[in-house]
Structures are given as C-alpha cells and as structure tokens.
Chain A
Amino acid sequence: MFDALTDRLTEAFRRFGAKGKLTAEDVDQGLREVRMALLEADVHFRVAREFIDRVRTRAVGAEVLESLTPAQQVVTIVHDELVALLGGETRRLAYAARPPTVLMTVGLQGSGKTTTAIKLALLTRRDGHRPLAVAADLQRPAAIDQLEQLGRANEVPVVRPAAGSGTGPSATVTVCRAGLTEAAARGCDVVILDTAGRLQIDGALLDELEQIRGAVPVDETLLVVDAMTGQEAVNVATVFRERAGATGVVLTKLDGDARGGAALSMRAATGLPVLYVGVGERPQDLELFHPDRMARRILGMGDVLTLAERARDQVDRAAQQQVEERMLAGRLTLDDFVAQLRQLRGMGSLESVLGMLPGGRQLVRHGGAELPDDRQLRRMEAIVLSMTPAERRRPEIVDASRRRRIAQGSGTAPADVSRLLKGFGQLQGLLRGLGAGGGRRGLARRFLPGVPPGVLGR
C-alpha cells in the first residue's frame, strides 16, 4: 500500500539530501515535489495545499535552515505533519459501557460494507466480545445471502428479515430491532448492522439510515470507504457525517496499489478519524489504523510494530523456537523450511512484509533483490511436499531420477528442483555461520529466516 506515494516522496527527499545547507528555494522546490506526490496519490487538493503550507512555514522558519542536517529536519517535519494529518492518536472502537454495543456500517455501493461487517465481527471477537450481525441491506439483491454465508463460514450469527417483509425503511427498522432482541436472547454484546449501499445523492436511503438511528441506539456509525476513491472521498465522508452521523471510517482494499489519498484526506477534510483498514480478502484482514505507524510506512521508514504483531498472530512460538535452534545448529530440515514458508505467506506478500522494514521498500526497488512472489513460494512448497520424508531429511540423496519424479509430482521442471535444493544448501551454510557467530539478533533474521533475498530468487 502507498507504494507509489512512498517512491515519489523518497525521490523528493533525495533532492534535499544532496545539499549540506538548504536555501528557501531548495525547500520550495522540494515541497513542490512533495505536493505533486500527494496529488498523484489522490490526496484532496485542498488538503495537499494546506499540508504543504504548514510544512513550509515550519521548514522556512529558522528551524531547518540553520540545522546541521537540513534534509533530515525536513523529513522529520513532514513526518510530524503527516501523523497530525492522519489523525494523531490511534482511535479505537468505542464499546458501550452498557451492552450491547451497536455498530452500523454505512457507505457507497461496492465499498465493501458487507465484508467489513463480518471483519468487524471477527475483530470484536478477538477483543473478547460476542458479535451478531444484522442483514439490514434490503436494497441489493442477495446482500442478505452474502452476509449469511459469510456469517456461517465464520461462525457469526446473522439475523435476517422475515420472508416477505418488503424493502422499505420500516422493514429495515424492524430487522434491526429484531437483531437487538436476538442479541439479548443469545447473550451477544456486539450488534453489527449491515446497511444498504447508497449513492450519496439518494435522499431516500439516507432517510432510512436516520430512521434506523432513531429506532436503535447506535454507538458507532462506521463509514466504509474504498481506499481507491478519488477526490470524491471527502464529499462522501462529509455527507455521511452530516446526514448519517458517521463517527469514523474504515478504509477497504488498502492491499491493492491504492495510493491512499482517501486515507490521507479523510481526517483533515472531514474530521472523521480512520479506525480500521482492510488489508486483504480474508475475514481476519482488518487492522487497527495507527497514524504514526502509517506515516512511517508512507515515508519508507518501516513499520516494525505492525510486522511484529502480524508475526505474533501467525507464529507458534514454541515451534518457532525449536526451528530456530535447529537452524542455528545447521540442522534445518526441508520440513522446517516449508513451515517457515507457510508462516511467511500467512503474514502477507513478501513485498508487503519487506515494505514494513525500514528501507525495505528501497531494497525491493533499487537493491535488485528479486523477491519470490506468492506463486513461487507455493511452487517451492509443492516441490518439498513432493519429496519423501527421507529426501526431506537428507536432500543430498536426491539424484537425477528422484529429481525427475519430484518435478513431475510438483508440476515443476527438474531444474526448479535443483535450484531449490541448491538454495537450501546455501541457506544452511549461511545459517550455520550465523549460529557459530552467535548472531541472535536482527529482525530480518528473526522473521525472514528462510528467505534471504538472492538465495531464493529465481
């Protein structure tokens, strides 16, 4: 996410970096680049202008010009202002003091409300709550079925409208009320209302939202916004805040190459904080939005905290420790290797993982490190899984005939098998060296044990 923006900003900062001392002109030139980068990322033009003005005021005031490392100073100012722009503090979901907590998802059509409703349910469950979802989108054909299927797959109870109850506002209010009753009966303390998607000009549907809020005590009204939304994002959010009482924003589809303009503009232009971001298609792919971390990620400074959290979610610690010990003793098996690959895949694409390391993005772009993509990782896994236990323990017994069989079994070429085994051999040598040196530090080694770039590149 934000890759395009990160790259452009890095370029802009490089200009500052070349100078020992900055003139007002240098600052102007650099900030023009920053402004272009923001606009290309779809940041609302007014937000971009004000942002640049603030940075310039601070940068031109002696602060920067007299400092020893002006470039760093400018980056620091941009960082601080970016954090402020993104909302400053992390805003968490406000659970009601007296349950149930009622959440309502609202938004334009196709922004991802229904999926988000289920993701929110799982998130509240991770927080120790018992969620229930209500299919209050009576406009879109089959929206109810979609919610119900997602609910069933994720063991979230879903309340649907009674058959033949119609599609009008009164039917919507009825099903929302039924949801609250059902929640009380089942002992659920979080109720999530999935409402109909709407175009903001549609007054009738906005009225329907007002009616729901009139009939049911809603604690949080979360506006679901597609992260790829353009300049319109700000208008949409303003209308939903004013007419539907939105209290926060969930940004979806941030795992694509969304430029993040919506994320950056939302708070500044509408006052609505971003609470969560959707980072994948799986139901658990919803992350808390941390303005400071996001700013660091955007500036290519890495987001080690989020990476560590993701790793923690994925990794079985005890097993990991055993693997590490075997690794350092130079006794890593191919089975361990596959286990590592799976963990890695669970954390997201390699590129996204690297993007969270300081300078990682630059490594991907300029370091020439060619990263194996998801497909290659899967192929590597297939190769190992096509080997017999004996071969996995002692790869050196793999001869031409075995290699052919493994290739056939995994749908690869014998050369692919050779390459993997060779890479694995090198890896073991490398790790043995590390183990001998007692090198038990370095995040890259901790979280990317199996995959130093280059070893596994094609």
Chain B
Amino acid sequence: MAAEDGAARARWWRRLSQRVSVSGGAFAGQLRSRLLVWQRLDDDFFEALTEVLLSADTGVGLAERIVGDLREAAARGRVHRPDQAVALLRATLGERMARLPRGLDLVGEPAVVLLVGINGAGKTTTVAKLAHRLRQEGHTPLIAAADTYRAAAVEQLQVWAELAGVPVVGHRPGADPGAVVFDSLQAARARGCSPVLVDTAGRLHTRQPLMAELAKVVRVIGRQQPGAPQEVLVVLDATTGSNAVVQAQSFQAGVGCTGAVVTKLDGSARAGYVLRVEEELGLPVKLVGIGEAIDDLGPFEPDAYLSALFGDVTAPTAPAGDAGAPA
C-alpha cells in the first residue's frame, strides 16, 4: 500500500488503536488489576504475569520465554517495580514486532494475491475489503471467486464486490478452482486489471487432499503468470488459540505463505499467537480486520496495536505525515 498518503495512514492508525482499545480494555485492565498491584517483582508477580500473557493466547512456551527474560532483567537490576516491568514488556514486544517487512508486493501484470485459511476465518470478507482498499489507493483489482465449495460463497462475494465496485470472475458451484483462477487471470489481462485477488475455499489445514488442491491452484497461477502469486496470505481469526500457529505452519508448508491476515481483531480476543506466527514462522502480519464495514481492513500497525492493548492510546507515537511508509 505504497501510495497511501500520510494523513490517511494516521487516520487508519487512530481507528485501529481505538477499535482495539475499546475491546482490549480487558487486557489493560488486567495489567492494572493483576500486575501493578504488586509491591515487588517476586514469584507472585511473575506467576500473575504468566497468566495475563496466557489469557492473551501467547501460548505457554512464548509466555515462559517472555517471563524468563523479564525475570533476568529483574535479577540484573534493570527493573525493580511492576510498572517498570510492564513498560519493559511493552518495549520488548514492540521490538519483536518491528523486525518484519509488512508491505504487500503488488508488482506484476497482473499481480496475484491469494487468500487461504480454514473455514470461517474470514477470507471472503477480507478479499472484498482488500479489493475496496486497493481501489481507493488507485489499483484496479479483480476478484477470482475460487471458493467453489461453500454454498453461496460466490453470491456472498458478489454482494461485497458490488459494494467495492470491483469485478468478480466466478464459475458454478463445484467447478474446478484452478479453472476459475485461469479465467480470472485472462480476464484481468484483457481488462488491464491488477492485482487479482483470489478467494479460496476454506479448508481445515489437516486435510491433505484439499491442501493438494490449493497447491494446484498455486501452480496454475505460476504457470500462467511467471512470478505470481506475489502474495499468499493465510487468514487467521483473532479468537483462535494456539491452533492458529499450527494453521499458519500447515499452510506455509503446503503452499508457501508470504504473510498473514488477522481478522476480527476488534473483538476482545488478543491474538497473542501473532508473536509466534511472526517469530517462529517468520510470517509477518500484513493486514488486520477490525470490523464489519467495508473499510475495516488495513495494514497492521504494531505500535497502534500495542498502544491500545497497553492502554496508552494517547501516546504520542502516531505517525505524522510520511514517517516510515508501511510498504
């Protein structure tokens, strides 16, 4: 989303942090009521911290690593009080998230963005919202309705696409998704559209045949359009637990992902697994969904997210103007 101007980015930044903070109040509240109440950084404090992290779905392993680091910092005298420890936690998380590039690669004629994920993660709405956003930014996207399995998936996409003002190429239910993709790429070339956003059928990552089908779709794309797909994004639901990491891992192994999309981040789940997806799998979260409206999807801004989570929405870190373009 290179073309985005600073004002628009700042607006999105504020909206993201507001949505998360409204629902994320629980996390900030826990920090206050369960951590800041301790006098010292003793075992009780670290035990409580572990549970607060667990409640945010970081998983046991990551929670223990984070707590271990903080214990060490305390032992070395770098932090003495709970508020300092929480501040260090916030800073550590910020550092951990700052490392990966988050821009979308949309260079290609056409470029292809493939969305994959399990049933109900929010692929179809993500495709529609992404189409809308890219159009706003001056792209001419085309949607390939390659979810030929779920009843009424194409209809759902058409309703959304109409809102976004983006053409949809689809076949009859039960058609070969490879064929849909093939036709979509031809249509995109004929009309000069790019990127092609491919909605795929939701599939549990444990189903080998379905994973193979997805790999075939990727091959069809690659044969027809060298260098494509530029992006393969695995769509994850924020309310999912540690299984999200397994999902991302399976899709990465099956079709090779370039990043993740986290949907429903405006709910009260904290999606702590994001840290593990980024660190353990090296998959950056590129987009987040924060609501049901068509413009409720945008780039992930770790800082906005953390500010909201830690309850310091007013922190003066909102980007001004062209500070560090996200792409």
Q: Is A373 an interface residue (CB 8 A)?
A: yes
Shortest Cβ distance from B63 into A: residue:
A39
For the complex formed, measure the closest distance between the CB of A115 and the CB atoms of chain B, giving whole angstroms.
8
Instruction: Write out the residue numbers on chain A whose beta carbons fall within 8 Å of the beta carbon of B267.
Output: 108, 199-201, 232
Given contacts A199-B264, A236-B239, A373-B208, contact A45 B51 (CB under 8 A): yes
Cβ B151 vs Cβ A231 within 8 A: no
Neighbour of B268 across the interface among A111, A149, A201, A255, CB < 8 A: A201
For the complex formed, measure the closest distance between the CB of A255 and the CB atoms of chain B, giving whole angstroms.
7
Q: Complex formed: what's the CA distance from A57 to B315 in Å?
A: 47
Cβ A36 vs Cβ B60 within 8 A: yes
Shortest Cβ distance from B56 into A: residue:
A231
Shortest Cβ distance from A199 into B: residue:
B267
For the complex formed, measure the closest distance between the CB of B286 and the CB atoms of chain A, giving whole angstroms.
20
Cβ B57 vs Cβ A109 within 8 A: no
Instruction: Write out the residue numbers on chain A whose beta carbons fall within 8 Å of the beta carbon of B23.
Output: 201
Q: Complex formed: what's the CA distance from A373 to B159 in Å?
A: 39
Q: Complex formed: what's the CA distance from A235 to B176 in Å?
A: 40
Instruction: Write out the residue numbers on chain B whose beta carbons fall within 8 Å of the beta carbon of A201.
Output: 22-23, 266-268
Cβ A230 vs Cβ B266 within 8 A: no
Shortest Cβ distance from A374 into B: residue:
B209
Q: Complex formed: what's the CA distance from A257 to B204 in Å?
A: 9
**Number of residues on chain B facing chain A (CB within 8 A):** 46
Neighbour of A228 across the interface among B243, B266, B268, B270, CB < 8 A: B243
Cβ A142 vs Cβ B156 within 8 A: yes
Q: Is A150 an interface residue (CB 8 A)?
A: yes
Cβ A40 vs Cβ B268 within 8 A: no
Q: Complex formed: what's the CA distance from A257 to B246 in Å?
A: 9
Q: Is B55 an interface residue (CB 8 A)?
A: yes
Given contacts A40-B60, A141-B160, A375-B209, contact A199 B266 (CB under 8 A): yes
Cβ B55 vs Cβ A229 within 8 A: no
Cβ B59 vs Cβ A40 within 8 A: yes
Q: Complex formed: what's the CA distance from A257 to B242 in Å?
A: 11
**B190-206 residues at the A interface, CB under 8 angstroms:** 204-206
Given contacts A146-B152, A253-B119, A375-B208, contact A228 B60 (CB under 8 A): no
Cβ A226 vs Cβ B155 within 8 A: no
Cβ A149 vs Cβ B59 within 8 A: no
Cβ B243 vs Cβ A256 within 8 A: yes
Q: Complex formed: what's the CA distance from A256 to B159 in Å?
A: 30
Neighbour of B159 across the interface among A141, A199, A200, A258, CB < 8 A: A141
Q: Complex formed: what's the CA distance from A149 to B247 in Å?
A: 29
For the complex formed, measure the closest distance between the CB of A157 and the CB atoms of chain B, giving whole angstroms.
16
Given contacts A228-B240, A256-B243, contact A110 B51 (CB under 8 A): no
Cβ B268 vs Cβ A42 within 8 A: no
Q: Is B269 an interface residue (CB 8 A)?
A: yes
Q: Is B303 an interface residue (CB 8 A)?
A: no
Instruction: Write out the residue numbers on chain A whose beta carbons fall within 8 Å of the beta carbon of B57.
Output: 42, 230-232
Instruction: Write out the residue numbers on chain B whose beta carbons fall within 8 Å of the beta carbon of A248.
Output: none
Cβ A145 vs Cβ B151 within 8 A: yes
Instruction: Write out the residue numbers on chain A whose beta carbons fall within 8 Å of the beta carbon of B159.
Output: 141-142
Q: Please, what's the 1-or-0 string for A120-159, where 1 marks a CB less than 8 Å from any CB in chain B?
A: 0000000000000000000111110110111001000000
For the complex formed, measure the closest distance between the CB of A47 and the CB atoms of chain B, giving whole angstroms.
11
Q: Is A261 an interface residue (CB 8 A)?
A: yes
Instruction: Write out the residue numbers on chain A whose beta carbons fall within 8 Å of the beta carbon of B82.
Output: none
Instruction: Write out the residue numbers on chain B whose beta carbons fall within 8 Å of the beta carbon of A232.
Output: 57, 239, 241, 267-270
Cβ B209 vs Cβ A226 within 8 A: no
Instruction: Write out the residue numbers on chain B whose beta carbons fall within 8 Å of the beta carbon of A111.
Output: 120
Q: Is A450 an interface residue (CB 8 A)?
A: no
Neighbour of A226 across the interface among B239, B270, B273, CB < 8 A: B239
Cβ B243 vs Cβ A42 within 8 A: yes
Q: Complex formed: what's the CA distance from A275 to B137 in Å?
A: 48
Q: Is B16 an interface residue (CB 8 A)?
A: no
Instruction: Write out the residue numbers on chain B whose beta carbons fall within 8 Å of the beta carbon of A256.
Output: 118, 204-206, 243
Q: Please, what's the 1-or-0 string for B17-39, where 1 marks a CB less than 8 Å from any CB in chain A?
A: 00000110010000000000000
Q: Complex formed: what's the CA distance from A255 to B119 in Å?
A: 12
**A26-71 residues at the B interface, CB under 8 angstroms:** 36, 39-40, 42, 45-46
Instruction: Write out the residue numbers on chain A whose beta carbons fall within 8 Å of the beta carbon of B106.
Output: none
**A227-272 residues at the B interface, CB under 8 angstroms:** 228-233, 235-236, 253, 255-259, 261-262
For the complex formed, measure the closest distance between the CB of A350 and the CB atoms of chain B, giving whole angstroms.
13
Q: Is B150 an interface residue (CB 8 A)?
A: yes
Neighbour of B241 across the interface among A112, A139, A200, A230, CB < 8 A: A230
Q: Is B121 an interface residue (CB 8 A)?
A: yes
Given contacts A45-B55, A256-B205, A374-B208, contact A261 B150 (CB under 8 A): no
Cβ B120 vs Cβ A112 within 8 A: yes
Instruction: Write out the residue numbers on chain B whose beta carbons fall within 8 Å of the beta carbon of A112.
Output: 119-120
Shortest Cβ distance from A258 into B: residue:
B243
Q: Complex formed: what's the CA distance from A257 to B60 in Å?
A: 18
Q: Complex formed: what's the CA distance from A226 to B244 in Å?
A: 12
Q: Complex formed: what's the CA distance from A375 to B209 in Å?
A: 7
Q: Is B237 an interface residue (CB 8 A)?
A: yes
Q: Is B54 an interface residue (CB 8 A)?
A: yes
Q: Complex formed: what's the CA distance from A140 to B118 in Å?
A: 18
Cβ B155 vs Cβ A141 within 8 A: yes
Given contacts A141-B156, A142-B156, A236-B239, contact A257 B206 (CB under 8 A): yes
For the complex formed, measure the closest distance between the CB of A106 and the CB atoms of chain B, giving whole angstroms.
15
Q: Is B229 an interface residue (CB 8 A)?
A: no
Give B contacts to A, CB under 8 Å: 22-23, 26, 51, 54-57, 59-61, 118-122, 150-153, 155-156, 159-160, 204-206, 208-209, 237, 239-244, 246-247, 264, 266-270, 273, 292
The 10 A-B residue pairs with the shortest CB-CB distance, nearest first, are A230-B241, A110-B120, A141-B159, A142-B156, A42-B241, A145-B152, A232-B269, A149-B151, A146-B152, A230-B57
A-B contact pairs, 28 of them (CB 8 A): A108-B239, A108-B267, A109-B120, A110-B264, A112-B119, A142-B159, A143-B152, A145-B151, A145-B156, A199-B292, A200-B268, A201-B22, A228-B243, A229-B239, A230-B239, A231-B241, A232-B57, A232-B269, A232-B270, A235-B268, A255-B206, A256-B206, A257-B205, A257-B206, A259-B241, A261-B241, A373-B208, A375-B208
In the complex, given contacts A142-B159, A256-B206, what are 19 additional A-B residue pairs having Cβ atoms less than 8 angstroms apart?
A45-B54, A46-B51, A110-B237, A142-B153, A146-B152, A146-B156, A199-B266, A201-B23, A201-B267, A230-B273, A231-B55, A231-B57, A231-B241, A253-B118, A256-B204, A257-B243, A259-B241, A259-B243, A375-B209
